[in-house]
Amino acid sequence: MTSSHRRFGLPVAVSAAVLLLASAGCSPADGPSSVAVPSPPPEEAALCQALAKELPDTVAGLERSDPEPGSELTAGWGDGAIVLRCGVPRPEKMSDPKAQGVSANGVRWMLERPEGSGPRFTSVYRRTYVEVSLDRRYEHDAGPLTALAGPVAGTVPCALEPECS
């Protein structure tokens, strides 16, 4: 940030003030990010509760920092850089035969690219949908899914057995 300010000749005092404001806005004192908590049927909520117990403490080198409000249906890492929601509704995009997907450690995910944010992945062929939203630093990197695939595969059974094998 400072180097771009120097290129445009802003005074050092202004650059320092901007840096202080930016770092204050990113401080842990601001608290965790906020997300909408899904409301799945009870049998899906039970799968999500099992998943919550298996989620890792770190993903992609980022420490666990769950979003608000606290729920077994949501989890986060890196103060909102990676957010998982379990029991989300089936995305409309899953009906699109041109929808893109990826596979990570045996779990298949549908990729969406919401306007103004990083990629969002939703598990497919599972008894409940698990959504993972990544911030823009992961625009071309689905790497965080590898740490989440094992817990998803171990706790959220396949809905269509041949598709998961």
pLDDT confidence of residue 135: 95
User: What value does the mean pLDDT of the chain take?
Assistant: 83
Q: Label residue 60 left, alpha or beta by phi (over 0 means left) and psi (-120 to 50 means alpha).
A: left
Asked whether the beta carbons of 96 and 110 are under 8 A apart, the reply is no
pTM of the model: 0.79
Residue 1 has pLDDT above 60, yes or no: no
Which H or E element spans position 121? strand 120-123
pLDDT confidence of residue 27: 33
Mean pLDDT, residues 21-44: 65
Residue 6 has pLDDT above 90, yes or no: no
Residues 49-102 pLDDT 10s: 999 999 999 999 999 999 999 999 999 999 999 999 999 999 999 999 999 999
Distance CA 65, CA 59 (A): 11
Domain coordinates in residue numbering, the chain:
1-30, 32-164
